[in-house]
């Protein structure tokens, strides 16, 4: 197992980045970003097989597609902190002419960004296309995708889920961030989906659950199992049970911080709860 203290330090620093980025421009989505911090840190630091540098072809390496693109603060921070572009560029988040737009875009040429995302429900389809391309190219690497639970209310997801099983796309691992919250309230209140696990299994997927989705060790163990289940003729789904706003006490367990920036006082409280570990940008 890797040194989880180093990963935990990176998690704390990424949380600081998220808070500072969103606060500076009084705009962005801190809640879901904080909830997925441990997952993306673990994914880019330990789980994925990545090459040095970046090219859009992505041959002979694992790929990642962010479907719920509004959590760009955590994505940008993790990309910068794992070497895709200078950490100092986080200063430009959501500014005019920045490469770090509110929702990731490919035309900005930002290393690490493979698709424009933000229009919800499309990421899994893109991931499946990349996964099938890898099969055609005889590239045995995996394709990862992260979706939100509220995002599953979009119909295109279920077309993709049906397609993946029917075509035996078994080199894709789709993770669903099950935090139970979306912009207008709880997912159960907005549109209750029932058992997400039962639905994926009914569509022919292998489904695993990570109960502690904000615990780095649990994520590493759960994703190792997911990788072991790949290549068996079925796509793999990981249900990641997280807490929206994790790591900042007043942002946790509520949809209120889905798309709202902290004020000066709230920023200070959030940063106090997440002390600087690797150096602020």
Specify whether the CB–CB gap between 41 and 10 falls below 8 A.
yes
Reported as a single tens digit per residue, the pLDDT across 63-94 is: 999 999 999 999 999 999 999 999 999 999 99
Residues whose CB falls within 8 Å of the CB of residue 266, separated by 6 or more in sequence, listed in order: 250
170: tokens are 């078994």
Side-chain-side CA neighbours of residue 182 (13 Å): 20
Question: Which residues lie across from 182 on neighbouring strands?
Answer: 185
User: Which residue carries 């441990």 as its tokens?
Assistant: 38
Residues whose CB falls within 8 Å of the CB of residue 113, separated by 6 or more in sequence, listed in order: 79, 104, 105, 106
Reported as a single tens digit per residue, the pLDDT across 23-67 is: 999 999 999 999 999 999 999 999 999 999 999 999 999 999 999
User: Which residue carries 């489904």 as its tokens?
Assistant: 207
Instruction: Compute the average pLDDT of residues 204-218.
Output: 98
pLDDT at 1 over 70: no
pLDDT at 135 over 90: yes
Residue 35 pLDDT? 98
87: tokens are 């950490």
6: tokens are 């180093």
pTM summary value? 0.97
Instruction: Compute the average pLDDT of residues 172-197.
Output: 96
Confidence of residue 216 (pLDDT cuts 50, 70, 90): very high
Residue % of the chain over a pLDDT of 90? 98
d(CA 133, CA 143): 10
pLDDT at 266 over 60: yes
d(CA 269, CA 246): 14
pLDDT at 118 over 90: no
Residue 2 pLDDT? 63
Residue 254 pLDDT? 95
């Amino acid at each position: 197992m890797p040194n989880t203290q180093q990963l935990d330090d990176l998690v704390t620093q990424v949380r600081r980045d998220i808070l500072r980025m969103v606060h500076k421009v009084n705009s962005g989505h801190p809640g879901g970003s904080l909830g997925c911090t441990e997952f993306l840190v673990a994914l880019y630091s330990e789980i994925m097989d990545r090459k040095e540098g970046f090219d859009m072809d992505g041959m002979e390496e694992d790929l990642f597609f962010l479907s719920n693109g509004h959590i760009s603060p955590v994505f940008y921070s993790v990309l910068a902190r794992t070497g895709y572009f200078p950490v100092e560029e986080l200063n430009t988040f959501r500014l005019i002419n920045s490469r770090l737009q509110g929702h990731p875009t490919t035309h900005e040429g930002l290393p690490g960004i493979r698709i424009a995302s933000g229009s919800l429900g499309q990421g899994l389809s893109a991931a499946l296309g990349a996964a099938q391309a890898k099969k055609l190219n005889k590239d045995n690497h995996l394709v990862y995708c992260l979706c939100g639970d509220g995002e599953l209310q979009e119909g295109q997801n279920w077309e993709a889920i049906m397609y993946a099983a029917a075509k035996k796309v078994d080199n894709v691992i789709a993770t669903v961030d099950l935090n139970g919250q979306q912009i207008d309230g709880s997912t159960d209140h907005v549109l209750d989906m029932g058992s997400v696990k039962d639905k994926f299994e009914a569509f022919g997927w292998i489904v695993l659950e990570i109960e502690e989705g904000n615990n780095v060790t649990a994520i590493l163990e759960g994703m190792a199992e997911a990788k072991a289940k790949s290549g068996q003729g079925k796509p793999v789904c990981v249900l990641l049970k997280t807490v929206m706003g994790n790591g900042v006490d007043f942002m946790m367990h509520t949809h209120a911080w889905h798309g709202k920036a902290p004020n000066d006082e709230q920023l200070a409280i959030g940063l106090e709860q997440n002390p600087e570990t690797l150096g602020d940008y």
